[in-house]
């Protein structure tokens, strides 16, 4: 259950990071509310997962999922350039996350 919550919290990290960018310095109310709600729920899920999982592993997985999804979203929407190398390196982060899951008991 902790791993599922950790992954979902990582997804919400990507949501709040994207919403933060779209809030334009908290001047856009809808994006600001999405940011705040996603941030609180994401942090709560991370905190809950850390009750059973190592802190370092939890944090790396949370940040990694959020970073990969945020960058992928940016590339898919055209907000940032995509390249084969960028996709390869993001896939490497995903591989490392899978490795951490495989080696954590």
pLDDT score recorded for residue 11: 98
Q: How far apart are CA 96 and CA 35, in angstroms?
A: 27
- Tell me the C-alpha distance between 100 and 80, whole Å: 28
Check residue 16 and give its pLDDT.
98
User: How many domains, the chain?
Assistant: 1
> pLDDT below 50 — which residues of the chain?
none
Measure the CA angle with vertex 34, ends 65 and 80; round to 5°: 55
pTM of the model: 0.91
Q: Which domain holds residue 16?
A: 2-103
Q: Residue 17: its pLDDT value, please?
A: 97
pLDDT of residue 104: 80
Residue the block writes with tokens 């995903």: 94
């Amino acid at each position: 259950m902790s791993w599922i919550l950790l992954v979902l919290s990582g997804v919400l990290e990507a949501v709040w990071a994207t919403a933060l960018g779209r809030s334009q310095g908290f001047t856009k109310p809808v994006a600001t509310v999405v940011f705040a709600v996603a941030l609180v729920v994401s942090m709560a899920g991370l905190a809950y997962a850390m009750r059973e999982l190592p802190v370092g592993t939890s944090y790396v997985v949370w940040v990694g999922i959020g970073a990969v999804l945020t960058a992928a979203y940016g590339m898919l929407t055209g907000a940032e350039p995509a390249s084969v190398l960028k996709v390869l390196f993001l896939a490497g982060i995903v591989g490392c996350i899978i490795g951490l899951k495989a080696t954590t008991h």
